[in-house]
Structure 1
Amino acid sequence: MKTKILALISVVFLFYSANSLNAQWIQCHNGFYGALIGGFESNGGNLRVSTQNAGIYLSTNEGYNWFQTNYGLTNLNVFALISNSNYVFAGTHSSGVYRSSNNGANWSSASSGISNLGINALAVYGSTVYCGSTNGLYTSTNNGTNWISAGGELASKPVMTILFSGSNMLVGTNGFGFYFNGTQSNSGLTDLNVSCLAVSGSGIFAGTFNGLFYSGNNGASWTAVNSGITNPNITSLLAYNNKIFTSTYSDGIYYSTDTGISWIPCSDGITNMSITNLHLRGTNIFCGTAGAGVFRSIDEGASWTEFNEGIISQNVYAFTTYNSKLFAGTSGKNIFVTTNSGLNWNVTGYGVANPNIMSLMNNESYLFAGTWGGIYRSSNGGDNWSSVNSGLTYHDVRGLAFVNRNSVIYNFAGTNGGIFRSTNNGSNWSVIQYAQYVWDFTIKDSNIFAGTLYGIYHSPDFGSNWSLAIQNLSNVDVRTMASNSIYVFAGTNGAGVFRSPDYGANWYQVSSGMGNRAVSDLLCIGDTIIAATFYYGVYLSTNNGTNWQTRNNGLLNLNMRSLYLSNGYVFAGSYGGGIFRIPLNYIINGIPEMVQNIPHEFLLFGNYPNPFNPVTQIKYYVAGSSHVNLEIYDVLGNRVTVLVSGIKDAGMHAAEWNAANYSSGIYFCRLKSSSFTKTIRMVLMK
């Protein structure tokens, strides 16, 4: 092991040279945890969860910490997990089945014979692996090397869930009901969309989109059992210790001790009532949510505790600031807030009943949040929120904006049905223009521009009158708007960026270097324009959009949704990867400013090169003289080496790891001090 300790006197120069070549985005991780959970899998000391958009996470300590294990997994939207004695299997949204023979360190495709690659369910019985796809049931007797159709009645049915009870195979389908050993059996089953199954004693429970059903005769007949469940859109079932647990998509978790005759709610501690999955591990019950990640109960559901350390898979749609606070709106876990430029985050949003935050705004008097369920307002800096939907007839709120003219604050809300305006800080709203999906606004002088599903609406008089832009943008899906002192900019879904020099009278495409990328957000800083795109990361223009170049170094997720400038940092919200930040001067110049802008916090930079063979360098920054540990772990959570352990002076440091004696795969480097912990992923490829 070779360790280089850089003298404090040379910190400034190293900081310049290292970052001029490797200026990069850093993921904001401390406290910013959560995900939409697809499924669970337990195997010995390993617990896994699959997520939407962030792949698979592994815990080797009962969920206290999680590590991402996606090497070789090309589709990170994973619905199902299962394992046998040889492999771990993962079913993806549209890329079929993957398998791993080394506990998830590496994945490879294993879908030969499956004609439709949308995988909903996996199961193992004996030496056979079962796969439920959107066009039928498949089986494999060679660990997924080849698959064949199960034939019979299930040959082309969309399979949602597979469960074995002894030697009996129970299958739930989408639209065709329940099958017992391959034979359809739906008498009394009034909803044929069977999403989950459980066996309790001699009975079978079936969860559907519209309620729970019970059968005491192997599915020959069914009876509805929903008493006490407010919204019976059933997502999961679990039988344990003479209780049956069920989860719903918007109403949390319930349990029954009387074969489903009555149900008792048991969601205390869960912050998102849209539950996707239940999983029993020993005597502990885990639940997955649609955005808030993983929770665990050690008392049979009486109370739940969040267990998300390391799971970063949030969809981040919006930012705003209030005094020294930066707020981030997510899909599924409400609003996060930081008071130190993203180093640490906490969940806020008390009173916001809908956790899917699509837009945020500070109108200099109040904070506003636009959600799938309307608008919420805070008068105390985001600590408490209340609904303000009077007059708002469409509640899917995607864009918010305001303008203060002659002491009147005009507030605008873009919804799935039109543009609404309020002149009393949201207490009342009135529709001023009908339009389908109003995504975003920008305001230039007295002109308001609204990007919609079918083009741009323009008002020259604070929203009293509107016209639809026709020239070059007719029926174009305009997802984001921005403006500076010269131009108005429009980011489109599939046609790049347009700009107008004359208040929207004429629009010209300015996408050289970007092409027809789908643009999700735009940020104007003088004549510097930053664009977030779907699937292709971040683009930068320093000449008002005439030319573009990528700025993706350090981004672990290129599917971006939002941009914001705060306290000298550009923040980028991603779809499935949380938040990334970079100093503004880095993204523009790639070179830091002078000494006063050297960071005042601990930083762990990505190793370089990555992937590597066999040597890689790891840079880290120490804010003040501290005892630090820099350690390497394998994918199972075992510490394989310690690179640094001791007192380090303030400044930039670097360490090298020579992995010549280690096998190829995923490793994790962790920097830890008394006040800071961060982990990065490294890939050794020999």
Structure 2
Amino acid sequence: MVGTYHGILRSRDTLKTLELTGASVRNVFDVKVLGNDLLAATDSGVHISYDDGLIWKRISAKASVNAIGCIADTLYAGTNSGLFYSSDTGKVWTKVAFFGNQTIKRLTQNAEELYIYTQNQLFRKTLKSGIVEVHLGGLAGEYLDVLNLGRTQLVSSYWGMVFSEDGVNWTPITSPLKSNQLRSFTSLATDGATIFAASEGTGGYISYDEGMTWLMRSPPFHYEAVWGIGGAYYADGFWFCRAGKGPFRSSDDGRSWKMINENLDEFTSVNCFFKVKDMLWLGTSKGLFYSLNNGDQWLEPEGKIYTEIRSFVISRNGKLFAFGGNNHYESEPPYSSWKAGSLTFKQEFSCAAQNGDTIYAASFSDDIYRSFDGGDKWTLIKKGIAQGTISHLTVTPEYVLTIDGMGDLFIRMHSDTAWAPFNGNLPFKVKDLLVIGDTVYGAIQFERLYRRNLRDYESPLGLGNSFHFRDMLSFFPNPARDVITFANPALLMSIEVLDLTGNKVLQSQATAQLSVSDLPLGVYVVRTTLKDGSILTGKVIRQ
């Protein structure tokens, strides 16, 4: 049986031929078999047929139903305003309070379990326990379809298909994305050992071995439906992140996620999290919120701040700072009220970071402010970096690292007066940074993750490969007009040239000289594969 907008199609010969049955039932979203009877979920309610689909009878209110399911003798109907059940074949329907007004998109089942798919999570109800539990926590997922094969679930989305045998660890099967896009991480967080990485195209991942191997912790989601996953943060056994506009929380290393948006309206976009003692603070497009129960309920502080908040820091004496707009705001323990601080920006604030009482704050202009005393006194220092906006700051006891408007990485010691490039041979833009000990981890556009030791500037390491980048890719001249010449052509197997969006614009077998005269003026990435399988990349300017 197949539900369509024109009715229900039936096949008696394994889909070799199809016949239209029940033409009076239109806009059918789901069809299920209940013993000798048929059930249909339509835009006008739940319908039942006792004669193999010839005649249909509506057994629910006249309202749209997305999915129909049955476990034991109980019917379930998934709608845009919650889940309903009936124990008397549709005479009386009762709302399942657990789901409130959530949209129920799909219902699937086996002999003992009913699976309930909302917009972004999968729940399971077992016949034995009768308890509804989270079975899979997606992050703002946009599911297209689901399929149960015994205890194995398959989930398809705009970004491909994943399967799981336990509902905990999910494995990608296929994806319409290019392989390089699948590796794109945009936000990083750590508990000091474990790394959580959020991806714009393929959900959340976690690594227990410094990024060498990764476990998928959510199914893919539809990029156009949300703003992507970001704002990753860890505190007191919980992982937090932004998915779409809303906040999510996980207490089991990303195996399941709960949306924590009570008292936040749908137009509030989340930027950042910060935990101070028992208070979890949330920086949003509509100002500050806090929670005393790790996000189950959000409250507004006294002296409500309506400015968009993008970062938090805290001094050793407990003074909490929130940065947003053209100002920063301060609050003393117990953080019951906020006031504007003395620091103001020529243009809007972009980001802030700290290590102890050493705090850096950047604006969208050519300025960075620094404090060595926990924010009591601030010094204006010029960035000295060509590309305007600073999008990220990371501070260690000795160093500060920045990502500029072009996605390039720079470093300086606190005592220095100038910035030094720290990109090494990174092929694309840096999206986020994370420092554990002396190791810097960089989330790279179109790539997975790179790392580099703060004290070893010559050895960045690509974690997606088994080799170390010990030498820069050597070619000249750069900038180039017509031809680039490779210093060690005997080591090369193939050469590719990509534009800054990741599209391949030129490809060649190993050669000592490569013509770039047909390329438009601009910046390109040269990616070479060596005979030992290693890959080296570098940037070239065509002018």
Q: What's the TM-score bracket when you normalise by the shorter of the two chains?
A: 0.5 to 0.7
Give the structure 2 partner of residue 419 of structure 1: 288
Change (3 A) 1:356 1:516: closer
Note if 1:496 corresponds to 2:367: yes
For residues 617 and 464 of structure 1, do their structure 2 counterparts lie closer, same or farther at Cα, with a shift above 3 Å needed?
farther
2:241 is aligned with 1:359: no
Q: Counterpart of 1:328? A: 197
User: Where does residue 453 of structure 1 map in the other structure?
Assistant: 325
Question: CA offsets, 1:398-417, max 9 Å, x none?
Answer: 1111133xxxx321111111
Q: Is the 8 A contact 2:182 2:202 kept in 1?
A: no
- Return the match for 1:487 from 342, 358, 381: 358
TM-score (norm 2): 0.55
- The counterpart of 1:348, out of the listed 217, 221, 243, is 217
Letter in 2 for 1:533: D
Partner of 1:28: none
Shift of 1:517: 3.0
Preserved contact between residue 528 and residue 540 of structure 1 (Cα < 8 Å): yes
- Deviation of the 1:441 alpha carbon: 1.0
Number of aligned residue pairs: give it: 369
Partner of 1:399: 272
Q: Please give the alpha-carbon distance, in whole angstroms, between the structure 1 residues aligned to 2:416 and 2:334.
A: 27
Give the deviation of 1:341 after TM superposition: 3.3
- Residue type of the partner of 1:608? S
Deviation, 1:494, is 1.8
The residue that corresponds to 2:392 in the other structure is 521
Distance (Å, rounded) in 1 between the aligned partners of 2:387 and 2:496: 41
Superposition deviation, residue 462 in structure 1: 4.9
Give the match's secondary structure for 1:532.
strand
Tell me the C-alpha RMSD between the 2 structures.
4.9
2:323 aligns to what SS in structure 1?
strand
Measured in 2, the distance between the counterparts of 1:467 and 1:615 equals 60
One-letter identity of the residue aligned with 1:305: T
Could you tell me which runs of 5 or more consecutive residues in structure 2 were left unpaired when the two chains were aligned. Answer: 1-63, 67-78, 81-103, 106-137, 145-155, 162-171, 498-503
The CA distance in 1 between the partners of 2:214 and 2:382, in whole Å, is: 35
Give the alignment's TM-score, normalised by structure 1.
0.45
Match of 1:566 in 2: 436
Q: Equivalent pairs: percent with the same residue?
A: 17
Deviations 1:293-346 (A, max 9, x none): x89xxxxxxx99304344338875421124643122234543233344344545
1:514 is displaced (CA, Å) by 3.1
1:603 Cα deviation after fit = 3.4
Aligned in 2, Cα 1:680/1:421: closer, same or farther, shift over 3 Å?
A: same
Q: Give, in whole Å, the separation in 2 of the partners of 1:428 and 1:660.
A: 60
Taking a change above 3 Å as real, the CA distance of residues 274 and 672 of structure 1, as seen in their structure-2 partners, is farther
The residue number in structure 1 matching 2:243 is 371
Q: Confirm or deny that 1:609 pairs with 2:463.
A: no
Q: CA separation in 2, counterparts of 1:380 and 1:614?
A: 51
| Aligned residue number for residue 418 of structure 2 | 547
CA offset at residue 439 of structure 1? 0.8
Counterpart CA distance in 2 for 1:630 and 1:515 is 34
In 2, Cα distance between the equivalents of 1:518 and 1:365?
A: 34
Cα distance change on mapping 1:441 and 1:634 into 2, 3 Å: closer
CA deviation digits over 1:544-589, x for unaligned, max 9?
574323323323334x442211364312335x54455342335xx6
Q: CA deviation at 1:361?
A: 1.2
Give, in whole Å, the separation in 1 of the partners of 2:441 and 2:508. 34
Matches within 5 A, 1:272-283: 273=142
Identify the structure with bigger relative contact order (alpha carbons < 8 Å, sequence gap 6+). Answer: 1
What amino acid is aligned across from residue 602 of structure 1 in structure 2?
F
Give 3-state SS (helix, strand or coil) of 2:180's partner: coil
With over 3 angstroms needed to count, the CA separation of the structure-2 counterparts of 1:316 and 1:442, relative to structure 1, is farther
Residues 323 and 580 (structure 1), Cα distance of their counterparts in 2 relative to 1, 3 Å cut: closer
Q: Deviations over 1:379-407 (max 9, x none)?
A: 11112111122233464111111133xxx
Change (3 A) 1:614 1:323: closer
Q: Cα 1:537–1:684, aligned 2, differ >3 Å: closer, same or farther?
A: closer
With over 3 angstroms needed to count, the CA separation of the structure-2 counterparts of 1:526 and 1:668, relative to structure 1, is closer
User: Which of the residues 278, 283, 306 maps onto 2:175?
Assistant: 306
Query: Structure 1 pair 345/493, CA: closer, same or farther in 2 (3 Å)?
Result: farther
Which residue of structure 2 lines up, in the alignment, with residue 670 of structure 1? 529
Q: 2:307 is matched with which residue? A: 436
| Partner-residue secondary structure (3-state), 2:454 | helix
- Per the TM alignment, residue 670 of structure 1 is displaced from its structure 2 partner at its CA by 2.7
**Is the partner of 1:381 in helix, strand or coil?**
coil
The AA in structure 2 aligned to 1:571 is Y
Q: Retained in 2: the 8 A contact 1:482–1:489? A: yes
1:534 and 1:561 in contact (8 A); partners too: no
Q: Structure 1's 450 and 312: CA in aligned 2 closer, same or farther, altered over 3 A?
A: same
Q: 1:546 to 1:677 in 2, by over 3 A?
A: closer
Aligned to 2:75: none
SS at structure 1 position matched to 2:261: coil
